Amino acid sequence: MTDPKNPTQINIELNEEVAQGTYSNLAVITHSSSEFVIDFVRIMPGIPKAQV
């Protein structure tokens, strides 16, 4: 029988502005065998460029 692995802890620090979040209405998800990336996008009517 194998010993259970110790879980890895990740410490993340957010400033107050980031912790409040930002509205998005689209998510683009890409991945590979070693990572994944989620880009959150806000598309507003009448504005030709989206904000990532």
pLDDT of residue 3: 62
What would the pLDDT profile of 4-46 be if each residue is shown by its tens digit? 677 889 998 989 988 888 889 999 999 999 999 999 988 888 8
3-state secondary structure of 16: helix
Contacts of 50 (CB under 8 A, 6+ apart): 26, 41, 42, 43, 44
Task: Please report, as a single letter, which amino acid is at residue 51.
Answer: Q
Predicted TM-score (pTM) of this structure: 0.56
pLDDT at 2 over 80: no
DSSP state of 34: S
pLDDT of residue 39: 94
| Cβ proximity of 12 and 22 under 8 Å | no
| Cβ proximity of 31 and 39 under 8 Å | no
